[in-house]
Amino acid sequence: MPYSIMLDAGHGGRDPGAVYNGRQEKDDTLRLTLAVGEILQNNDIDVEYTRTTDVYESPYQKAMEANEAGVDFFVSIHRNSFPTDNAVSGVESLVYSLSGIKLEMAQNINDQLESVGFVNLGVKARPNLVVLKRTKMPAVLVEVGFINSDTDNQLFDNNFDDIAHAIAAGILDTFNQSPAPVPGNYRVQVGSFRNPVYANRLVNELQAQDYPAFIEEGDGYFRVRVGNFPSLDAAVDMERRLKRAGYVTLIVSS
Ligand SMILES: [Zn+2]
């Protein structure tokens, strides 16, 4: 089952976003978003876009589009700006909260962009941004350098293809860390944690032993599960294996 993602080119139409010396954020974001989407498509990701032309849609409409499409991830691409020109440069990513796979994706994207030459300003929680708050799937907003930084613009223009590849690589890195669960209703739960560090540790330990383990996030818990299995019998078999290996287990279905 391929992953699906909705890419959002920030701003558009009557909303130019940040502007610096005639350069408009909405143009940079559209060009870059389309380039990132092409690379992801070539890697068998199912890519959808909020816009592929210079049109306006509110952030709320964009979030609703992603929810209706039922995509696995939402990534919004922007350029940053600072009150003073040429005072700050670098990339930063924004997420609703600093946890889960969205945080991993944001960090992966930042790390990849850092390797292209950007200063890495880190990941920040922005719980009030509509595209992060109203989307039902993990969502990341990446600010690809400051539009009022000549350094960042030079990097953006001279390394455009590398930057598109870096963002795509950051997204793909995240998918590889978290294999897509196969369709099925039964899973064997091996742990439930409030702290994602412990969940990640257990998932890595299980994956190292070739168990199809993954994390399901919900209600403030990170649940480590193995599966999915199409039948209860298959889940019971797996549960026996895990119990023999010393794990405390629980079969869950949905
Ligand atoms: Zn923006």
Complete DSSP assignment for 56-108: ---HHHHHHHHHHHT-SEEEEEEEE--SSTTS---EEEEESSS-HHHHHHHHH
pTM of the model: 0.71
Q: Active site residue: 92, 104, 143, 239, which one?
A: 143
For residue 251, is pLDDT > 90? Answer: no
Percent of the chain beyond pLDDT 70?
A: 96
Q: What is the pLDDT of residue 181?
A: 47
Rounded to an integer, the average pLDDT of 56-84 is: 96
- Per-residue model confidence (pLDDT) at position 183: 57
Mean pLDDT of the chain: 92
CA of 47 to the centre of ligand 1 (A): 21
For residues 183 and 41, the model is more confident at 41
* Rounded Cα distance, 117 and 102, in Å: 23
Dist. CA 144 → ligand 1 center (Å): 10
pLDDT tier at 180 (50, 70, 90 boundaries)? very low
**Confidence grade of residue 254 (pLDDT, cut at 50, 70, 90):** low
Least-confidence region, from 32-41, 77-86, 236-245: 236-245
Residue 184, pLDDT score = 64
Which two three-digit tokens encode residue 181?
Answer: 């669960």
Taking CA atoms, 220 is separated from 4, 97, 192, 195, 252, in Å, by 24, 11, 10, 9, 18
Distance, CA 186 to ligand 1 centroid (Å)? 42
Q: How far is the CA of 188 from the centre of ligand 1 (A)?
A: 42
Average pLDDT, stretch 97-118? 94
* Residue 57 bears catalytic tag: no
78 Cα to the center of ligand 1, angstroms: 4
pLDDT score of 177:
60
In the chain, DSSP assigns E strands to 4-9, 19-20, 23-24, 46-49, 73-80, 91-95, 120-125, 139-146, 186-193, 213-218, 221-229, 250-253
User: Kind and range of the H or E element at 194?
Assistant: none
**CB under 8 Å to 19, separation ≥6 — which residues?**
25, 147
